[in-house]
């Protein structure tokens, strides 16, 4: 039995699309593409409410240089990304932990969090909003804003 040339490439491309999407929170294994948010105003309201809570939480905990990036139409990963900094590893971990607690208490969202143990860079996945909390030196090294902000936009701190 011989396979048609190019058939393997189609199967491989199909598998890559699924593998490069997101993972199941229970198993950590890759699953299919992220489900589309409803096109209704309610779906958009939900991500806007999560974003508002995230911004208020990191501001209340004295995060510095808070940047909000709108990813709608640019990425299937999330609708918004928030990048901020804490002055020390301890503050980075505290900002992250308090944000996770507030999201759980006020919006019943259980977040996935990575990096809290070291406190250099904590990634918080709240579904439609992805939050990066850095120590300043680590943030400067990775420069995520350059990658995600629209061309010609400079990093502007939120008050």
**Gap between the Cα atoms of 48 and 7, Å rounded:** 43
Q: Radius of gyration over alpha carbons of the chain, in Å?
A: 18
What is the residue-level pLDDT of the chain in tens, covering all 159 positions?
A: 454 555 444 444 444 443 344 555 565 555 544 444 444 444 456 899 999 999 999 999 999 999 999 998 888 889 999 999 999 999 999 999 999 999 999 999 999 999 999 989 999 999 999 999 999 999 999 999 888 887 666 555 444
**Gap between the Cα atoms of 97 and 117, Å rounded:** 11
Global pTM reads: 0.69
How does 58-90 read in b/e, with b if 16+ C-beta sit within 10 Å? Answer: beebebbebbebebeeeeeebbbbbbbbbeebe
Closest to 28 (Cα-Cα) out of 112, 91, 153: 112
Q: How many CB atoms lie within 10 A of CB 116?
A: 18
């Amino acid at each position: 039995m011989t396979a048609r040339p190019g058939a393997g490439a189609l199967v491989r491309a199909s598998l890559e699309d699924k593998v490069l999407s997101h993972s199941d929170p229970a198993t950590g294994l890759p699953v299919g593409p992220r489900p589309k948010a409803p096109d209704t105003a309610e779906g958009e309201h939900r991500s806007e409410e999560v974003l508002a809570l995230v911004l208020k939480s990191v501001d209340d905990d004295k995060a510095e240089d808070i940047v909000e990036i709108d990813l709608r139409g640019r990425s299937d990963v999330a609708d918004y990304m928030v990048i901020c900094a804490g002055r020390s590893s301890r503050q980075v971990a505290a900002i992250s932990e308090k944000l996770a607690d507030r999201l759980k208490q006020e919006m019943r969202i259980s977040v996935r969090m990575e990096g809290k143990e070291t406190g250099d860079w904590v990634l918080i996945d709240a579904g439609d909003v992805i939050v990066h909390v850095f120590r300043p030196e680590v943030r400067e090294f990775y420069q995520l804003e350059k990658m995600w902000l629209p061309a010609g936009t400079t990093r502007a701190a939120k008050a």
